[in-house]
Amino acid sequence: MKRNPIILKKETTALLIIDLQERILPVIRNYETVLENTVKLIKGFKVMQLPIYFTEQYPKGLGQTSKIILNELESYSAIQKMSFSCFGAENLFEELHKKKLSQIAVCGIETHVCVQQTVLDLLANDFQVNLAADAVSSRKEIDYNIALDRMRILGAEVTTTESILFELLEVCGTPEFKEVSKIVK
């Protein structure tokens, strides 16, 4: 018997946080929940020692990443971009391929712009995308909903923060499981 190949594996999974920047967050629906769930993802990925990447869209205009997120990512550096898609974020896609990271957990804003374009480009480059629907958002609910539907139809795995973390844990009873369980409560 075998497990479904779309189940996330530690060896092949990275977290990509897209454009959670100070100046745009106040106009995003449910941005507090997006930040809260992104922090859970970051903490869980750190517990499991998995790679984390984060981008900033035109930081001169939109400011830096939220302090809440930066506090969790002290030893990481933002990848700057001008393009909406992270496809244009330096050599990010090449680095993911080089490190054999084929399953990408995605969170960030805005669902219908930078997140959607990135997800579509990741899919076009043979990555499996697991989109945390509770850790993405847009200014308008219709944009969020249509983007989730579109990404799902085009091949993204639309899931949740907890689903991503528990897929990666695979089993209970380990020290990692105990730490992540505390994070998601």
> Minimal CA–CA distance to 169: which of 16, 43, 8, 53?
8
Give CA 38 to chain center in angstroms: 8
Three-point CA angle 85, 88, 90, nearest 5°: 135
Is 67 marked active-site?
Answer: no
Which residue in 19, 40, 107, 121 is the catalytic one?
19
Is 172 marked active-site?
Answer: no
Which residue in 81, 86, 107, 121 is the catalytic one?
81
Three-state DSSP class for 13? strand
Q: Which two tokens stand for residue 75?
A: 């030893």
Query: What length does the chain have?
Result: 185
Beta strands in 32-145 (DSSP E): 52-57, 79-81, 103-109, 128-137
Evaluate whether 27 touches 34 at the Cβ level (below 8 Å): no
Is 81 marked active-site?
Answer: yes
Which residue in 40, 107, 114, 134 is the catalytic one?
114
Q: Which positions are annotated as active-site residues?
A: 19, 81, 114
